Structure 1
Amino acid sequence: MATHGKKYQEAVKQLDGTQAYHPKEAIELARKMAHSRFDETVELHLRMGLDPRNASQQVRGVTLLPHGLGKQVRVLVFAQGEAERIAGQAGADFVGSDDLVKKIEDGWLEFDTAIAIPDMMSKVSKLGKILGRKGLMPNPKSGTVVAATDLPRVISDARKGRVEFRLDRTAIIHVPIGKVSFDDDKLMENLTAVVEAVLKAKPSGA
């Protein structure tokens, strides 16, 4: 059985497992407990009390974090022709079609979000098992399959801190809301943006 280091043990002493914390208190505590040498990610986990097997109780959506994620987001776009030119001018890090599909099939995954134009989905669909496991598969429901004219907006949103959320098989939603280097107010505003988006996406009566 793995054992935790001294820094972890000291951090855990600050947490009262029997107490329910207000979100602002939880954020303050999460920042105090951070002990790694790198800038740790702060995540929000929402227990929804829904049945993930019930199609009428699915929750999925996207939102923009007002203060971003605190990291550089590498954007990949599956496009060709005029759409490829538009994506390149809009600042996408990687743009292509068959070449990118082949590269990903060979194991390359050095990007954080993937966007596609509709005409590319017949080729991108071959990557379903690879990208799906990583949460990177372009999908119209998450706003990552868009017309060429919408690429500049979607690429810009991805860089600003666009996050996707969905109910998992244990009825929990997991979303990053920033870094421990953010101040409490910025993390709280990011958290609020996610909660509001989740409540809006939650089916009525669920």
Structure 2
Amino acid sequence: MKHGKKYVDSEKLIDRSKYYDSAEAVELCVKTATAKFDETVEVHVKMGVDGRHADQQVRGAIVLPNGTGKTIRVLAICKGDAAKDAQEAGADFIGAEEMVQKIQGGWMDFDVLITTPDMMGMVGRLGKILGPRGLMPNPKAGTVTREIGKAINEAKAGKIEYRLDKSNIIHCVIGRASFGAQKLQENFDALMGAIVKAKPAAAKGQYIRSCVIATTMGPGVRLNVNRFGA
């Protein structure tokens, strides 16, 4: 794949033979964010587990100290008092059966779906639609809860979910280049701390195998994972 001049120039700032500490890596990401828009900063963590086994799953959620820099559109599928709580908390869309039907019809104009336990029988029908997009509500992520108002506030504040993909890699956004190195570092530390804490008891060998941080349009920076002690 041929890259543009900006990418090539950015790549020259990175030593491909080196594994950087997180502070240096974040600084480099900010420096290499040369696009005309405010680039997203992403972390990609290769895990030493096998997600095909239930006892080796790594999944959870965390509110980043400085948010993600993205305006989050929240859909709350609930009824009764929960719907009132959702409205007070500032959910962008609220409903029940009609929202399920809307999604079945192709509507996907939301970033987070939060629901209550009593609605999961209905929401479960959307698994084939929501699952591949990472939008299926889950109790571990706090998106299936009776405290729906709290969950909405957390989502709006920058709560992110981390989970393994089919290659046992976790992909997460930790902010935007405009945040600057310090805020990105704080978000990175919070995310990695949560991942380390979520280590399954069944995990054997090296838990975190590699970690790369990159902006939307920039080259990846490899990190030294020894500091995580996992």
TM-score by length of 2: 0.84
Q: Is the 8 A contact 2:89 2:152 kept in 1?
A: yes
Match of 1:153 in 2: 150
Which residue type is aligned with residue 106 of structure 1? G
Mapped pair 1:178 → 2:175: yes
Deviation at 1:176, TM superposition (A): 0.8
Deviation at 1:122, TM superposition (A): 1.5
Once the two structures are superposed, residues 84-143 of structure 1 have per-residue CA deviations (whole angstroms, 9 ceiling, x without a partner) of 122111110000011211111121111111100112111111111111111111111211
Give me the whole-angstrom Cα distance separating, in 2, the residues matched to 1:99 and 1:37: 40
Give me the whole-angstrom Cα distance separating, in 2, the residues matched to 1:48 and 1:78: 33
Match of 1:96 in 2: 95
Match of 1:126 in 2: 125
Q: Is the 8 A contact 2:61 2:140 kept in 1?
A: no
Which runs of 5 or more residues in structure 2 are unaligned?
A: 204-230
Superposition pairs of residues 179-194 of structure 1, within 5 angstroms? 179-194=176-191
Shift in CA distance, 17/134, structure 1 to aligned 2, threshold 3 Å: same
Give me the whole-angstrom Cα distance separating, in 2, the residues matched to 1:112 and 1:97: 17
Match of 2:193 in 1: 196
Give me the whole-angstrom Cα distance separating, in 2, the residues matched to 1:159 and 1:133: 22
Q: Is the 8 A contact 2:46 2:170 kept in 1?
A: yes
TM-score by length of 1: 0.93
Match of 2:212 in 1: none
Which runs of 5 or more residues in structure 1 are unaligned?
A: none
Match of 1:81 in 2: 80
Give me the whole-angstrom Cα distance separating, in 2, the residues matched to 1:54 and 1:81: 38
- Residue identity (%): 50
Deviation at 1:34, TM superposition (A): 1.1
Match of 1:3 in 2: 2
Deviation at 1:205, TM superposition (A): 5.8
Match of 1:107 in 2: 106
Deviation at 1:81, TM superposition (A): 2.0
SS in 2 for 1:50: coil
Match of 1:69 in 2: 68
Deviation at 1:167, TM superposition (A): 2.0
Aligned length: 203
Greater mean alpha carbon deviation, residues 185-194 or residues 52-61? 52-61
Deviation at 1:82, TM superposition (A): 2.1
Match of 2:136 in 1: 137
Give me the whole-angstrom Cα distance separating, in 2, the residues matched to 1:204 and 1:125: 29
Give me the whole-angstrom Cα distance separating, in 2, the residues matched to 1:55 and 1:151: 27
Once the two structures are superposed, residues 16-47 of structure 1 have per-residue CA deviations (whole angstroms, 9 ceiling, x without a partner) of 21111111111111111112211111111122
Which residue type is aligned with residue 82 of structure 1? D
Which residue type is aligned with residue 101 of structure 2? K
Give me the whole-angstrom Cα distance separating, in 1, the residues matched to 2:97 and 2:202: 44
SS in 2 for 1:187: helix
SS in 1 for 2:165: coil
